[in-house]
Structure formats: C-alpha cells, structure tokens
Amino acid sequence: MAAFKPAFAFVADVHLRPRTWVRYPEIRGDAFRSLQQVCSYCRVSQLPLVLGGDVFDSRRPDSESVRVFNDAVATCRQPVYFVQGNHDNVSVPWPAVTDAATSIHSKVITLGDIRVYGLDWQPRGSLATALESIPEGIDVVVAHQAWEELQGIGSVDGSVSDVHADVLLTGDYHKQLELTAVRRDTGTPIRVLSPGSTHLCRLGEDPRKYLFVVGRQGTEVQWQKVPLETREYSRIRVESAEALEQLKDAVAAYPPYENPDARPVIQLRYEASLPGVVDYVQTVPLQAHWLLDAYYAAVEVEIAVDPAMDGFDSLCGAVSQMPLDARTQDIVQRLLQTPTGQLAETLQDLYTTFMAE
C-alpha cells in the first residue's frame, strides 16, 4: 500500500467567541483553545491550514476573538487559507485582518499536488451558478453550505452531486460525517468530509472533536483525523430515588479540577417532584459546570377547538387559527409536520436550539 503524504490540515466551524452560551457565561474559551491546538499542530507538523468557514461566530466579532485569531495564526508559522461561512460572511473578511491568512474564495491553490478550489458561503439562489464556475481538474472543493445529502431535514442550499470535484470538504454541519455521492456531470463518485465543529457548540453534540490531515495515498485524496482536547460533556437523567443516590456517589468520586477552564460540562435533567432532588442540585459541588434542567412528569392536555373556526381542512390549518404567539405557532407546526420516525430528532433539535439561546 502506498504511503500517505500529508498536504494540509483542515477544520471548519471554529465559531470564535469568548463564551459558548449566553446562558452559561462561566463556560468560556473553548473555541479559542481548539484553534490554538490546531495552529500548534500545523506549526509542529509544518502543514498549511485550511479553514472551512464560520471562523468567527458573527459578522461583527468581538475584539478578543479577533486578537486570539491573529495570535494563533501568527504562532502557526504556516500558510493559512480560509473560506467564509454563513455566520461570518462579509465583503471584507475578518480573517484577512492578518497578512498570514488568505481568502481562497473563487481561487485555485495547489497544496502538495492537490488542486484546491475555495467557495465562500452562497445564498441558496446563487449556489448553482457558483458551482458551475468551478474550473476543470479540481481535486478538492472547500465550501460551507447546508447540503441535502448531509442535512437530511430542514432547509438546504443545494446538492453535493452538483459539485464538480472528486472531494468536497464542507463546513456548516457540526457533526463529523463522511459519505459518497454521485456527480451529475460525470456520473463518478464524489467523496464528502464534514469535519464537524472544533468544540462543543450545541448541547447534544458529540463532544469528540478533530482536525483532519488531508493528503494523497497513491492517486487518491485521503484524510486522517487527529483528536482535539476539548471539554468533556455528558448528560445525566435523574428520575428515581435510586438514580439520585447514584448521582451523589458519582459526584463524591469526581476528581477536582483546579483550572476552571478544564471543568467538564454535565447536563443534569431531573424530575423536580422527586423528594430531595431540588435541595441537592442547589448545593451540588463545583468540580464541573452543571447545566441544571428541571422537568415535571408529563401530563395530558386537551385543547378544545372553537367550532366557529372554519376554513381549514387539516390539523395544521386548525392550529394556524389558534391565538398563539409566532414562536409557539412555528414550533407546533413543525412538530405536526414531522414524520413519526423523525419526531425524536426534531424534539432534540428544538431542545438544543432552546438551550443555546
């Protein structure tokens, strides 16, 4: 078997910001530490770095995030290339504030012997035209879009099959995922890598994060993943007296973390009517960042529809006429329109969106 020849490192969805969640201001620096690890790896391995969009979390990033980016790129001591994502897309890209980072939007660069073409995030109506502009003979396209093959449900920008290259490296989808599709223009395979985010951006994400080293093995473009050291994350449910006692034992055995930046995140969901649980969670030790999420046992609620309401022929139509605020209306309609087999995923998505706000 031919040896793997590294050409560059690739990550996406760095989302630089001091704090991951507004609701939990004590959890900070995760995005910064991941970028610093990536740049340190590139310096030691002497590999260029390609950033696949959403380098910053906002089109108007805070000064601390800009400073951390500049410092990290300076310590990289290797070429840094980037495309913009939907979160940080502006006419003058923020990563370009340092001379060490170069935009590759609509440009071809050669890393090793791999021809790479970059594409900033495109609105849905502009993506097809942008994809048609990809030159011939491109090995790898770096982009940041919501692709229907990855997204599965929800709003998407376009199809992987319309990308004119052998490999697509894409940001936007925060999960690490690899798949193969078929190009419409040639009928040949196109391989896709979504590296996922570089740190925990949403509750419920897989906390295991990676950078990817892209290179050649023989004639094919291949990649290898390198783990990043990220904050530990786990979810615990307490629904019984036995589970509460097990939690107490686990907390008592938890190792102390002198550095608050290293403390894990533990999302504790507990039945609030369980005797003693509320008193306990209010005094839980601070070896970890505890995200407390109380709930009550489900109860059945009956909604009466006013017979005077008419002009609808479905449950969605009936709900649309109810006196609900816009956000509640949107959530209810989404749940009603979700296929039964995808309901759990939709509920989890709604929950993580709520927790991230």
- Work out whether the CA dihedral 229, 32, 72, 8 comes out positive or negative: positive
Statement to judge: residues 219 and 252 lie in one domain: no
Contact yes or no for 205/20 (Cβ under 8 A) = no
Helices (H) and strands (E) in the chain, counts: 9, 15
Domain check: are 152 and 276 in the same one?
A: no
Domain residue limits at 340: 304-357
DSSP β-bridge partners for residue 50: 10, 81
Distance, in Å, from the CA atom of 279 to the CA atom of 287, rounded to the nearest integer, reads 18
**Quick one: 272 and 219 in the same domain?**
no
Confidence (pTM): 0.79
Give me the average pLDDT of each 10-residue run along the chain (357 residues).
94 94 84 96 97 94 94 93 93 86 96 96 93 95 94 83 96 93 94 95 87 96 96 85 86 72 80 83 71 56 51 61 65 74 71 58
> Could you tell me where the beta strands, DSSP code E, fall in 79-149?
80-83, 101-103, 108-111, 114-118, 140-144
- Looking up tokens 């509320």 gives 278
Same domain, 143 and 26: yes
Which of 169, 200, 227 represents a domain boundary (last residue)? 227
pLDDT value, residue 292 = 64
Examine the domain organization and report whether 270 and 333 are in the same domain: no
270-278 LR contacts (CB < 8 Å, sep 24+): 270/237, 270/238, 270/239, 270/244, 270/294, 270/295, 271/238, 271/239, 271/240, 271/295, 271/296, 271/297, 272/296, 273/297, 274/238, 274/239, 274/240, 274/241, 274/244, 275/241, 276/241, 276/244, 277/238, 277/244
- Which pLDDT belongs to residue 208? 93
What span, in angstroms and rounded, lies between the C-alpha atoms of 197 and 211?
A: 9
State the pLDDT at residue 51. 97
The neighbour count for residue 54, using CB atoms within 10 Å, is 27
Longest dimension (CA), the chain: 74
Q: And the tokens for 209?
A: 């994060």
- Which residues are CB-contacts of 3 (< 8 A; sequence separation ≥ 6)? 217
Number of folded domains in the chain?
Answer: 3
CATH number of the domain encompassing residue 245: 3.30.160
- For helices 30-45 and 63-76, give the axis angle rounded to 10 degrees: 10
Return the pLDDT at 3.
93
Q: Which tokens in the block code for residue 343?
A: 């309901």
Last residue of a domain, one of 227, 249, 271: 227
Query: 61 with 158, same domain?
Result: yes
Whether 130 and 84 have beta carbons less than 8 Å apart is answered as: no
Q: Are residues 16 and 101 in the same domain?
A: yes
Does residue 132 share a domain with residue 263? Answer: no
Contacts of residue 13, defined as CB under 8 A and 6 or more positions apart, other chains included, come to: 52, 53, 54, 85, 171, 172, 174, 195, 196, 197, 198, 201
Shared-domain flag, residues 43 and 188: yes
